[in-house]
Amino acid sequence: MKFNIALLAGDGIGPEVINEAVKVSDAIAKKFNHEITWTPALTGACAIDAVGVPYPDETHEICMAADAVLFGAIGHPKYDNDPSAPVRPEQGLLLMRKKLGLFANVRPTFTFPSLIDNSPLKRERIEGTDLVFLRELTGGIYFGEKGRRDDGETAFDNCVYTRVEVQRLAKKGFELAMTRSKKLCCVDKANVLETSRLWRETVQAMEKDYPEVEVSYEFVDAVAMRLVQWPNSYDVLITENLFGDILTDEASVISGSMGLMPSASVGEHTSLYEPIHGSYPQATGLNIANPLATVLSAAMMFEDAFGLKEEAEAIRTVVNQSLEQGIVTEDLVAKGVKAYSTSEVGDWLVANL
Ligand code: IPM
Ligand code: MN
């Protein structure tokens, strides 16, 4: 098969981890007789520096024309402590999600047997954890009206959801639950928020269409707590944008390193695959960042965007082997133990595919 993939390396360690995912993807393509055309495009701080905006129209056209988007990371410290910056790299990501209609963010959390003791949580709590968050990505407080009044002394961010937005995300949740253990948890704050009551009412009305799925409704504060107590009691969780942002960062450390977790954003147009970690500015250019989350995002891309399960499995298998054999970056080794560089890990994966 032939694929055209938009390559959005972004900022910070983005280009370094993307580079390794490209090497591994090309090796997989060679092994299974596929042809990949990579089309690089600018996004984030590097796009602001080059053309003044974080998600240029040209980048959007490249993404729309592609079969999938592989994305690195976005963000630069020079914008973080300047609340008055007129444009910010993160706006590029939000605009890209909106314009590509990427309303569902799929963020799995699973454990690797060889890394169980890297987790900050006790082994018996996390063994067997295999859960997926479906985070709503184009609504809620992120995209509601925001502003200042009273001469700037008062600020507001509105949280708005429509029934249709909840339905389309929940539908993906029910469908995913049907392919797994048929357990779905709707995470909300329906004891306080009106948008949460709309979520709950909408999901409840959909239950009859999926009689086999067992649905639970839990408040977000309780989920934040249970997620570190008994993560292995969850399977598929659906939630709104901001709750999902926070809970998926919390969930990402269960596996032992944030540098391991992949994600997909899907919706109306081209799907996007990206590691869940950020741009890790302190590590930029040092060749130390963990490329595995991006490599595993490429595996998700092969499986979900192209329907190539065997290719995806081959990537996951070699990643597992690298973990078992300790061919890993510094975030995964104890002090004093030899760590491999970003590109050495990528080279090893390619050589062992
Ligand atoms: C994420 C990030 C983004 C978000 C930022 C960079 C805008 O934290 O993908 O989770 O908040 O959605
Ligand atoms: Mn986040």
Model pLDDT for residues 260-291, shown as the tens digit of each residue: 999 999 999 999 999 999 999 999 999 999 99
Say yes or no: CB of residue 16 within 6 Å of ligand 1.
no
Closest CA to 316 of 295, 333, 290: 295
Rounded CA gap, 199 and 166, in Å? Answer: 6
Nearest ligand for residue 272 CA: 1
pLDDT of 334 reads 80
Cα Rg of the chain (Å, integer) = 20
Domain 1-102+263-353 sits in which CATH superfamily?
Isopropylmalate Dehydrogenase (3.40.718.10)
Of the listed ranges 104-118, 231-245, 307-321, the least confidently predicted one is 104-118
Mean pLDDT value across the chain? 96
Nearest CA to ligand 1 atom 9: 276
Rounded CA gap, 179 and 177, in Å? Answer: 5
Average pLDDT over residues 69-89: 89
188 is in an annotated binding site: no
Rounded CA gap, 223 and 165, in Å? Answer: 22
Please give the span between the terminal C-alpha atoms of the chain, in angstroms, as a whole number. Answer: 19
**Residue of 236 and 332 predicted with greater confidence:** 236
Average pLDDT over residues 104-114: 93
Long-range contacts of 260-263 (CB under 8 A, 24+ apart): 260/112, 260/115, 260/290, 260/292, 260/293, 260/296, 261/107, 261/108, 261/109, 261/293, 261/296, 262/108, 262/293, 262/294, 262/296, 262/297, 262/299, 262/300, 263/105, 263/106, 263/107, 263/108, 263/297, 263/300
Residue entry with tokens 């510094």:
330
Say yes or no: CB of residue 245 within 6 Å of ligand 1.
yes
Domain 120-255 has CATH 3.40.718.10: yes
Ligand 1: atom nearest CA of 241 is 12
Quick check: 303 and 32 in contact, CB under 8 A?
no
Q: What's the token pair of residue 205? A: 């009305």
Rounded CA gap, 168 and 345, in Å? Answer: 39
Say if residue 209's pLDDT is above 90: yes
How would you write 221-264 as a 3-class SS string? Answer: HHHHHHHHHCHHHCCEEEECHHHHHHHHHHHHHHHCCHHHCEEE
Average pLDDT over residues 2-12: 97
Closest CA to 210 of 231, 180, 245: 180
Same fold, 1-102+263-353 and 120-255: yes
pLDDT of 98 reads 96
Domain range annotation of the chain: 1-102+263-353, 120-255
pLDDT digits (tens, 9 = 90+) for 293-305: 999 999 999 999 9
Nearest ligand for residue 241 CA: 1
245 is in an annotated binding site: yes
Nearest CA to ligand 1 atom 6: 90
Quick check: 290 and 341 in contact, CB under 8 A?
no
316 is in an annotated binding site: no
Q: pLDDT band for position 86 (50/70/90)?
A: confident
Mutation choice for ligand 1 from 245, 263, 272, CB with most ligand atoms inside 8 A = 245
**Residue of 78 and 316 predicted with greater confidence:** 316
pLDDT of 321 reads 96
pLDDT of 13 reads 97
Quick check: 185 and 173 in contact, CB under 8 A?
no
Side-chain half-sphere CA neighbours of 327 within 13 A: 18
Say if residue 112's pLDDT is above 80: yes
pLDDT digits (tens, 9 = 90+) for 140-158: 999 999 999 999 999 999 9
Active site residue ranges? 142, 189, 221, 245, 249
